[in-house]
Structure 1
Amino acid sequence: MSRETMLDLDAEVVARARRLAAEAALPVVTLAKAHTTVAVERATLRLAGITGADTTHRAGDVPWVNRVVDTVREHCGLEHGSVLPVFHALREHGFGDLTELAEATAAGQVTFTVPTGKAAERAAKTARVAIAKGMRRIDRNRAQRAKLVDRIGDPAQRPWIYLIVATGDIDEDVVQACNAARAGADVIAVIRSTGQSLLDYVPEGATHHGFAGTYATQENFRIMRAALDEVSKEVGRYVRLTNYASGLCMPEIAVLGGLERLDMMLNDCMYGILFRDINPIRTFVDQRFSRQVHARAGIIINTGEDNYLTTADAVEAAHTVTVSQLLNEHFAHEAGLPDELLGLGHAFEINPELPDSFRMELAHALLARELFPDAPLKWMPPTKHMTGDVFRGHLLDGFFNLAGVLTGQSILLVGMMTEAVVTPWLSDRDLALANVRYVLNAAGRLAEDFRPAPDGFIVKRANQVLGEAVDLLERVVDDGLLTAIAQGTFGLMKRPPDGGKGADGVIVKADGYVNPASDLLDEGSDR
């Protein structure tokens, strides 16, 4: 499929759009590099091997990593990072491992201080050795994924079929996920329990009581990955696993995903800010670290531009999706993610009552495909205009699937006729998968025959959206990205840089800040 000339995009306009995105992102990257967060520090200690939770706390289980980081902050601050005080205390008190240190911390037996001189050098060296061990586990998982894909095989065709499970019980999720794989799903996304993105800790262990989803925990990741490995052998293709590296624990969940060989993770540059009211600076700091982890782990990120179109009009706001894609691309590249791991998002959300709505959907999808030819784009199904008429909904999903085939999308999230109305039944999922299979089989390689008229509606609409995106990027550069977010530029949500949840978890780095995890990630995945 020749994507370079189908829309006749002006190469200079495209290049200008990317230059503007880079210019808009630069101050935010600089800000992210100058700060750490409690979540980054916890993620670093998780890489060093800390696991488990304090089960004696009267308010419920408290992860040991939270207990340690909170105590370090109370005793000596986090401006120099957590590893110097933690590994200095480990040596000074003669603890066997970080779990012993955490237990003593909870009992009030440890006073943390920031070491200097030779003591600081020893602490940093010991920490690097421990963190490098965690990195090697991530590296082995990446290599294991490649071996399994080579041995078992990839899906025979694109787009990959992406299906959600969300029971709240990890054991039931396994049953549904394996049956979905047998029915044709290539990617299984385990939806997180409602509200987990606003928890400033990651629960421990297997869980069975989530709300409209299942808690993201390391043990749940392990259980689902093991189950999908087994069903992958059965169906003869490697079935990928997705979860959500977003919210207040974004860096930690990214690390846990790498440690348990997840394959995709939701990770968007502005989603948490706009739709969960998480502090913008906290989000950008956490995101940069998490994306470095994804790059190391070979995890495909999925961005969340589709969400803008659930709050803003999909025609009038189409250019904001393109702007966000360009920003997500730049932030991803800066963090080390190559195009093949950049699952930029977009959606089929234009009101179907509008004349030429399908033609506009094709224009927007083709624009994304041509702007990012090497990215595994994730195409989202209609939700906003689902009415409860299941026949109309099933037809809309069929049109969505056809648009995905015609425009060469990479990852197709399965739309269901009851989407956004009720929680879909298993039978709804089965019908939805049948819909996808029919379209993919019937349309086949129809994209090879699809060429919009050079001066036609689709080409003109795509170029119009690109032009509007460039105009908006110019304004974002002039005003600053944080100001643009505060003004409601994206998704109509106004989020000031000093507001939002988790703002108190942001710390300005001191000159002597030490974090071997950041150093190892900066050095690249070959170290």
Structure 2
Amino acid sequence: MSRPHALLDLDPAVVRRARALAARAAEPVVEIARSHTTVSVERATLRLAGLSGADHERVPWVNHLVTAVRDEVGLEHGVTTPVYDALLRGEAPDLMTLAQKAASGNVSFRLPTGREATAARRAATKGVGGGLRTIDRSRATRERLIRRHGDPRTKPWIYLIVATGDIHEDIPQAQAAAREGADIIAVIRSTGQSLLDYVPEGATREGFAGTYATQENFRLMRAALDEVSTELGRYVRLTNYASGLCMPEIAALAGMERLDMMLNDSMYGILFRDINPIRTFVDQRFSRQVHARAGIIINTGEDNYLTTADAIEAAHTVTVSQLLNERFAKEAGLEDWQLGLGHAFEINPEIPDSFRMELAHALLARQLFPEAPLKWMPPTKHMTGDIFRGYLLDGFFNLVGAMTGQGILLVGMMTEAVVTPFLSDRDLALQNVRYVMNAASGLAEDFHPPRDGFIQTRARQVLSEAVDLLDRIVHDGDPAGDAPLLAAIADGTFGLMKRPPTGGKGLDGVCERADDYDNPATTALDAWTPPAATRHTSTEGVVR
């Protein structure tokens, strides 16, 4: 399916101003991310160096090792220099043994100087390089499998959720969903995992309303989807969540285990999980750099704003968030084809012209981000339990997706707000998608809203309000603060949630980098650029 022509008569100067303001709002936050580190960034670095596993109480060894280093010498210099110095001094033969000794207080750490510091940093670079090479190999494997099996023949890609809590139950359901037409399988995380300051270990069978995100669960599901990809003759993608207090670690594990998409929004954890804003932005920059190198598509969470705020009055905040997500993502090295920017079909259906407004909002997103595989989310907030009405709303949602060239379409369920969907509900939902896409996928060619009609006017209004909000964020923020975006978040600008930069979970895990801070992972990721040979191959099938 081709991208629709430019159907909205948007003023290019207004669009340029919107992006320029988003860049100005984002820049101070980027500087904060560049000048700070977190416990999760440091743990992710050790995971790239090969440290895994947990003690008998299931506390990961990376947590033990980072905590020990932090307690003795701090993290402002980076964790790898004191860790590899300890290895070179013979405190332990490997990272695992060192972490075990650190957990029992039987090892000492120091900040080496001179030649010893140089040797420790050289050894750390070699160790972390192994994980980065694994990520590179995983990206190359994905490219090879896409060439072998092919991408789905049509767009949008059909995105379907699996989440039983038991990875061994998720696998057959995911394979069945792929056989029924799903192009992307999303394994929803167990409730509350975003607030855990550690990553669970191993295959898990006890998740709640979802399945724990672990390296072993990633490996098992990726292998199962590779199997069904071979069977079906199309590459089936796997999605999970790089968010919460362990965002960098989960991103690193996902890159090594070849996940294809990750939920990764600039403000979701701040607004909806009350995670400290500075912790979130520092962790997010590292995680997005990993995603860029791994060739992973991010999915952002603007749809969540509309579950707490009115979808008409707050429509411009979605556009502002998309522009900010785009800016943060590109600064971290992500390309347009990796930006699964989110939006949703959440206007109250009782409102006159609700469908036309949904169409205007979706067209605006499509035209502002023409090369991005936008993620289009189904109605949830106004699903009442009337399954017949819900099925109709999902059909309208699918129609907007077809008419506006969305890249990733999450399958809506008619039993939303009633029960956890049955397999038969999923079958009916996929039938709805298939019918609409088969019947109306070419409708965009014939659809041209008049220049001063309702849809054009509404889209221009939302864009204008987005520019006004960005202008206020940039110029009317806290004059004593260095980051006006943080002030806007504190004021409840997005999703009606007020989150000050000094509050929220995880602030105690943030520290400012010292002048001699060294982290071989961040150094390599800062220097990385996409290989020319693979830069565009991952866009096969993306709306153009």
Q: Shorter-normalised TM-score: what interval?
A: over 0.9
Deviation at 1:95, TM superposition (A): 2.6
Residues 64-463 of structure 1 mapped to structure 2, 5 A cutoff = 64-93=61-90, 95-463=92-460
Alpha-carbon contact 2:48-2:252 (below 8 Å) kept: yes
For residues 254-298 of structure 1, the C-alpha deviation after alignment (integer angstroms, 9 at most, x for no partner) is 000001000000000000000000000000000000000000000
Give the Cα–Cα distance (whole angstroms) in 1 for the partners of residues 47 and 454 of structure 2: 52
Query: Is the Cα contact below 8 Å between 1:139 and 1:525 reproduced in 2?
Result: no
* Range moving further from structure 2, 514-523 or 89-98: 89-98
AA aligned opposite 1:53? A
CA distance in 1 between counterparts of 2:279 and 2:418 reads 33
Number of aligned pairs? 523
CA distance in structure 1 between the aligned counterparts of 2:4 and 2:312, rounded to whole angstroms: 23
In structure 1, runs of 5+ residues without a counterpart are none
Taking the aligned partners of 1:281 and 1:420, their CA distance within structure 2 comes to 34
Q: Distance in 1 between matches of 2:351 and 2:234?
A: 40
1:518 to 495, 519, 522: 522
Identity within the alignment, %? 73
How far the C-alpha of 1:410 sits from its partner, in A, is 0.2
Distance 1:443 1:526 in 2: 36
Preserved contact between residue 73 and residue 111 of structure 2 (Cα < 8 Å): yes
Distance in structure 1 (CA, Å) of the matches to 2:439 and 2:342: 25
Q: How far apart are the structure 1 equivalents of 2:392 and 2:458?
A: 24
Distance 2:418 2:265 in 1: 25
In structure 2, the residue matched to 1:483 is 487
The answer to whether 1:16 aligns with 2:22 is no
For 2:60, which of 45, 58, 63 is the aligned residue? 63
In structure 2, what is the Cα distance between the partners aligned to 1:448 and 1:254? 39
CA deviation digits over 1:198-237, x for unaligned, max 9?
Answer: 0000000000000000000000000000000000111111
The answer to whether the 8 A contact 2:302-2:343 is kept is: yes
Q: Residue 495 of structure 1 is aligned with which of 481, 495, 499?
A: 499
The alignment status of 1:45 with 2:46, answered yes or no, reads: yes
CA contact (8 A) 1:159 1:412 kept: yes
* Equivalent AA in structure 1 for residue 169 of structure 2: E
Per-residue deviation, residues 150-186 of structure 1 (Å, max 9, x unmatched): 0001001000000001100000000110000000000
The residue matched to 2:298 in structure 1 has which SS?
strand
Moved more, 424-433 or 138-147: 424-433
Counterpart Cα distance in 1 of 2:198 and 2:262: 18
Cα pair 2:291 2:334 within 8 Å, conserved = yes
How many angstroms apart in 2 are the aligned matches of 1:120 and 1:446?
64
Displacement of 1:526: 5.9
Deviation at 1:525? 4.6
What is the deviation of 1:451?
A: 1.2
CA RMSD of aligned residues (A): 1.0
Verify the 8 A CA contact 1:453 1:459 in the aligned structure 2. Answer: yes
Secondary structure at 2:334's aligned position in 1?
Answer: coil
Kindly provide the CA deviation profile for residues 281-316 of structure 1, in whole angstroms up to 9, marking residues without a partner as x: 000000000000000000000000000000000000
Q: What amino acid maps onto 2:24 in structure 1?
A: E
Cα distance in 2 for residues equivalent to 1:38 and 1:5: 45
Kindly provide the CA deviation profile for residues 383-435 of structure 1, in whole angstroms up to 9, marking residues without a partner as x: 00000000000000000000000000000000000113321111111111111
Q: Counterpart amino acid of 1:481?
A: L
Counterpart of 1:317, as a letter, is: A
Equivalents in 2 of 1:22, 1:266: separation in Å? 22
Note if contact 1:6-1:452 (Cα within 8 Å) is conserved in structure 2: yes
**Corresponding residue number in structure 2 for 1:34:** 35
How far did residue 109 of structure 1 move? 1.2
Alignment check: 8 A CA contact 1:300 1:343 kept: yes
Distance in 1 (alpha carbons) for counterparts of 2:250 and 2:460: 38
One-letter code of the match for 1:519? T
> Structure 2 CA distance, aligned partners of 1:190 and 1:269?
20
Matched position secondary structure for 2:37: strand
- 1:107 Cα deviation after fit: 2.4
Offset of residue 54 of structure 1: 1.1
Q: What is the distance in 2 between the residues matched to 1:28 and 1:312?
A: 25
Contact 2:159/2:410 (<8 A) preserved: yes
Q: Report the TM-score, using the length of structure 1 for normalisation.
A: 0.98
2:535 alignment counterpart: none
Paired amino acid for 1:366:
L
